[in-house]
């Protein structure tokens, strides 16, 4: 039965007999209270055009409104153990949740402050996405005032946002504390960027750009960039300074301790800190073209530049010094509390090494190992700018108590290597002072041994020796059927500098001066100046070497060995000690006043020599022509 109905109070109305339904064909208006238990026991109320209730309406069964519904007071659904679902809009019959609001194109819910002006729409999109659409374009969670950003989440004591994989176990919190910092707090202790499986506390994965079909490959952006923040500026007109720039620190983690071990304990090793540039790309295309592998990436670290002093002032302007660049190895651990031998740990080593040369194929030269260059800073590009000093300095020994020995300084070229089937020279070692320009002598090159110390009694101790030593000869090998000789030791050469080439007069060559040390210049007296010793090497089981003074052509003028002394290219002989022979005597024209076997002591010592013996000795020494 379908007809318009206007009812004032139907609390005692008997059920309408049209399939158990109350039907209003065009419009249903109920001014009083409608109790559906009485009016409709098992069916539904269907208002095809609309249903208007000015009182309360209580329904225990289904209510279907195809028009509009208005309630002057409220619409209440009866309480039940299972809440009664309510569907509003198309696609919600029957409703899938307690409240199911449907619309295929428009937002399904609107929260309104001022009609059509200030509101927020909530919409489920066609792909299942959820959209919050405020007219201010800003959303606040737990924010009392207008949000300052598109999304603002407020919590003064706990993290403001949590992303959860497993409730209470696997999650990541985001928190801004009172300091204004951002804390990323993953329950697993690791953060990954462009990776869901980080293998470090912070793992940044930067995938390669997509492969292109033609042309060069796409350059990649930097995987990570970090810089200290600049110091703040000031507009104060007094004698003030700008704020200091922010520092940038990177430090590996310390090793853990074992403080409760009953037996011996060992602390954990500190973690390594590695900075490595990328490897060059391979070039392995087959064909006739040239393949060049890509160069490895450069690792660059630099201290900050000094600030400019460019203000227009009548006072002094001085630029700020460039920042220091320091590389420190880790300090050795202390051993202070035991009752046995206490030995501190060695300080960590610092190794600066260039890259290894690439291997070559058979008959192809291998790539050179990379060069290591450490140099002082370049001079300023102005008149009189001086290049930076380069200092290679070992550390001082401890000054506590009895003190400790200073660290040694070693400069050594690389060894030649191989299986001895080919000659491979060791690397040369060159120490060269810088060239001068203009009317200025070349810079000196000095190698000085250390100063002697002072004993506990106050006496000075000898200074250290300064040695220039040629390389030792290689050892001979013993084969199954052969025995080879050892190599000769290399010469140690000290050579004066060559004179410069002139257009009128050539410059003279530099002298070689070997000078013993001077006597100390203190208030005391006495002392002996240092001597100069020139000595050939020890002969061992072989022949004695010669210490020679030569002319510019390399001819010996004085030669000394373990046998004796020789002059003017004569082989050294032992000191003459025999009286000499009378043979070789030729009488002169005058009457002889002596005999050929007469001997003379020269009134020095007791050994007498014949004149013939003296002549022979002088000739043998090379002091007179034979």
- Give the C-alpha distances (Å, rounded to integers) separating 287 from 283, 284, 290, 291, 366: 12, 9, 9, 9, 22
Q: 42 and 11, same structural domain?
A: yes
- Closest C-alpha to 255, from 244, 275, 269: 269
List residues bridging with 165 in a β-sheet.
none
The verdict on residue 257 lying in a domain is no
Q: How many domains does the chain have?
A: 2
What is the rounded average pLDDT for all residues in the chain? 77
Angle at 85 between CA 83 and CA 88, to 5 degrees: 150
Distance CA 13, CA 371 (A): 106
Q: 108 and 58, same structural domain?
A: no
Question: Which tens digits make up the pLDDT trace of 100-136?
Answer: 898 888 898 999 999 999 999 999 988 888 999 999 9
Cα-flanking dihedrals φ and ψ of residue 621, to 5°? -75, -15
Distance CA 287, CA 203 (A): 40
Of 144-153, 272-281, 523-532, the poorest mean pLDDT is in 272-281
- Give the C-alpha distances (Å, rounded to integers) separating 366 from 285, 296, 361: 20, 17, 8
The verdict on residue 125 lying in a domain is yes
Q: 79 and 2, same structural domain?
A: yes
- Reading the block at residue 573, the tokens are 């002989």
Q: 43 and 121, same structural domain?
A: no
With a cut of 50, say whether residue 24 has pLDDT above it.
no
- Closest C-alpha to 1, from 45, 53, 36: 45
List residues bridging with 53 in a β-sheet.
30, 71
What pLDDT score was predicted for residue 292? Answer: 75
Question: Which tens digits make up the pLDDT trace of 264-310?
Answer: 777 778 777 778 777 777 777 777 777 777 777 788 777 777 777 77
The verdict on residue 63 lying in a domain is yes
Q: 76 and 2, same structural domain?
A: yes
Question: Which tens digits make up the pLDDT trace of 329-339?
Answer: 777 777 777 77
Inter-residue contact 131 to 123 (CB < 8 Å): yes
List residues bridging with 111 in a β-sheet.
120
Higher-pLDDT residue of 33 and 155 is 155
Please give the model's pTM, rounded to 2 decimal places: 0.51
What pLDDT score was predicted for residue 355? Answer: 76
Q: 134 and 69, same structural domain?
A: no
With a cut of 60, say whether residue 147 has pLDDT above it.
yes
With a cut of 80, say whether residue 484 has pLDDT above it.
no
Average pLDDT (54-66) is: 59
Of 38-42, 79-83, 203-207, 315-319, the poorest mean pLDDT is in 38-42
Higher-pLDDT residue of 278 and 261 is 278
With a cut of 80, say whether residue 67 has pLDDT above it.
no
Strands 202-204 and 547-550, bridge-based pairing: unpaired
The verdict on residue 10 lying in a domain is yes
Q: Which residues contact 406 (CB under 8 A, 6 or more apart)?
A: 394, 395, 396, 397, 450
Highest mean pLDDT among 16-25, 199-208, 390-399: 199-208
Where does the pLDDT of residue 559 fall: very low under 50, low under 70, confident under 90, or very high at 90 and above? very high
Question: Which tens digits make up the pLDDT trace of 507-527?
Answer: 887 888 888 888 888 888 888
Torsion of the alpha carbons at 211, 217, 218 and 221, rounded to the nearest 10 = 110
With a cut of 90, say whether residue 170 has pLDDT above it.
yes
Where does the pLDDT of residue 398 fall: very low under 50, low under 70, confident under 90, or very high at 90 and above? confident
Alpha-carbon radius of gyration of the chain: 51
Domain boundary among 34, 49, 84: 84
With a cut of 90, say whether residue 349 has pLDDT above it.
no
What pLDDT score was predicted for residue 166? Answer: 94
Q: Which residues contact 322 (CB under 8 A, 6 or more apart)?
A: 303, 304, 305, 306, 377
Question: Which tens digits make up the pLDDT trace of 573-605?
Answer: 888 877 777 666 666 677 766 777 888 888 878
What pLDDT score was predicted for residue 23? Answer: 47
Of 34-43, 141-150, 280-289, 441-450, the poorest mean pLDDT is in 34-43
Q: In the 8-state DSSP scheme, what is residue 583?
A: T
Distance CA 540, CA 430 (A): 31
What pLDDT score was predicted for residue 191? Answer: 94
Where does the pLDDT of residue 48 fall: very low under 50, low under 70, confident under 90, or very high at 90 and above? very low
What pLDDT score was predicted for residue 53? Answer: 55
Helix (H) / strand (E) element for 619: namely: helix 611-621
Q: 76 and 108, same structural domain?
A: no
Average pLDDT (200-222) is: 84
The verdict on residue 137 lying in a domain is yes
Q: Which residues contact 498 (CB under 8 A, 6 or more apart)?
A: 509, 510
Q: 80 and 1, same structural domain?
A: yes
Strands 34-35 and 5-7, bridge-based pairing: unpaired
- Give the C-alpha distances (Å, rounded to integers) separating 171 from 40, 161, 164, 175: 52, 10, 4, 13
With a cut of 80, say whether residue 139 has pLDDT above it.
yes
What pLDDT score was predicted for residue 20? Answer: 42
What pLDDT score was predicted for residue 152? Answer: 92
The verdict on residue 576 lying in a domain is no
Of 31-45, 213-227, 292-306, 397-411, the poorest mean pLDDT is in 31-45
- Reading the block at residue 180, the tokens are 């204004």
Q: Of all residues in the chain, what percent carry a pLDDT higher than 70?
A: 81
Question: Which tens digits make up the pLDDT trace of 491-507?
Answer: 788 888 887 888 888 88
Task: List the domain range (segments joined by +) for residue 74.
Answer: 1-84
- Give the C-alpha distances (Å, rounded to integers) separating 249 from 226, 227, 246, 252, 576: 10, 10, 10, 10, 78
Q: Of all residues in the chain, what percent carry a pLDDT higher than 90?
A: 13
Environment class of 474 (CB within 10 Å of its CB; exposed 0-12, middle 13-18, buried 19+):
middle
Distance CA 454, CA 222 (A): 58
What pLDDT score was predicted for residue 588? Answer: 66
- Closest C-alpha to 271, from 291, 243, 257, 252: 252
The verdict on residue 127 lying in a domain is yes
Distance CA 271, CA 273 (A): 7
The verdict on residue 45 lying in a domain is yes
Of 29-38, 196-205, 379-388, the poorest mean pLDDT is in 29-38
- Reading the block at residue 143, the tokens are 């924010």
């Amino acid at each position: 039965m379908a007809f318009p109905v206007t009812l004032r109070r139907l609390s005692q109305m008997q059920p309408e007999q049209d399939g158990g339904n109350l039907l209003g064909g065009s419009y249903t208006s109920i001014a009083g209270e409608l109790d559906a238990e009485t009016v409709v026991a098992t069916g539904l109320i269907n208002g095809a055009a609309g249903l208007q209730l000015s009182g309360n309406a209580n329904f225990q069964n289904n209510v279907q409104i195809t028009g509009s519904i208005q309630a002057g007071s409220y619409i209440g659904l009866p309480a039940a153990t299972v809440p009664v679902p309510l569907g509003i809009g198309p696609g919600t019959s029957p409703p899938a949740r307690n409240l199911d609001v449907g619309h295929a194109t428009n937002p399904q819910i609107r929260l309104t402050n001022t009609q059509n002006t200030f509101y927020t729409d909530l919409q489920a999109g066609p792909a299942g996405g959820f959209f919050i659409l405020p007219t201010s374009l800003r959303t606040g969670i737990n924010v009392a005032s207008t949000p300052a950003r598109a999304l603002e989440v407020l919590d003064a004591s706990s993290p403001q946002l949590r992303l959860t994989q497993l409730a209470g176990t696997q999650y990541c919190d985001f928190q801004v504390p009172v300091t204004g910092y951002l804390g990323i707090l993953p329950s697993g202790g690791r953060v990954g960027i462009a990776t869901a499986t980080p293998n470090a506390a912070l793992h940044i994965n930067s995938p390669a750009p997509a492969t292109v079909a033609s042309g060069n490959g796409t350059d990649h952006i930097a995987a990570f960039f970090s810089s200290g923040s600049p110091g703040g500026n000031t507009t104060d007109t007094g004698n003030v300074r700008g704020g200091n720039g922010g520092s940038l620190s990177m430090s590996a983690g310390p090793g853990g301790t074992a403080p409760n071990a009953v037996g011996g304990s060992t602390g954990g090793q500190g973690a390594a800190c590695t900075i490595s540039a990328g490897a060059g790309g391979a070039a392995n295309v087959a064909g006739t073209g040239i393949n060049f592998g890509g160069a490895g990436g450069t690792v660059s670290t630099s201290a900050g530049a000094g600030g400019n002093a460019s203000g227009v002032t009548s006072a002094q302007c001085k630029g700020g010094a460039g920042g220091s660049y320091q590389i420190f190895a880790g300090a050795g651990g202390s051993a202070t509390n035991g009752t046995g031998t206490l030995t501190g740990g060695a300080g960590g080593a610092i190794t600066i090494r260039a890259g290894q040369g690439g291997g070559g194929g058979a008959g192809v030269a291998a790539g050179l190992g990379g060069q290591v260059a450490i140099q002082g800073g370049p001079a300023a590009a102005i008149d009189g700018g001086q290049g930076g000093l380069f200092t290679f300095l070992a550390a001082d020994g401890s000054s506590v108590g009895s003190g400790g020995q200073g660290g040694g300084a070693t400069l050594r070229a690389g060894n030649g290597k191989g299986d001895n089937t080919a000659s491979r020279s060791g690397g040369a070692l060159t120490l060269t002072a810088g060239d001068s320009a203009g009317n200025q002598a070349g810079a000196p090159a000095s190698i000085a041994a250390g100063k002697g110390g002072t004993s506990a009694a106050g006496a000075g101790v000898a200074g250290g020796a300064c040695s220039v030593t040629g390389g030792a000869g290689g050892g001979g090998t013993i084969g199954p059927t052969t025995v080879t000789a050892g190599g000769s030791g290399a010469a140690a050469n000290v050579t004066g500098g060559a004179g410069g080439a002139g257009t009128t007069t050539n410059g003279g060559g530099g002298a070689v001066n070997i000078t013993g040390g001077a006597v100390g210049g203190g208030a005391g007296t006495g002392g002996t100046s240092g001597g100069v010793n020139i000595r050939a090497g020890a002969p061992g089981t072989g022949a004695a070497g010669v210490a020679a003074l030569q002319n510019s052509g390399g001819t010996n003028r004085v030669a000394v060995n373990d046998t004796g002394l020789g002059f003017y290219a004569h082989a050294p002989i032992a000191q003459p000690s025999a009286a000499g022979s009378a043979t070789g005597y030729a009488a002169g024209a005058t009457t002889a006043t002596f005999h050929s076997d007469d001997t003379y002591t020269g009134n020095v010592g007791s050994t007498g020599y014949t004149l013939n013996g003296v002549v022979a000795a002088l000739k043998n020494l090379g002091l007179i022509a034979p």
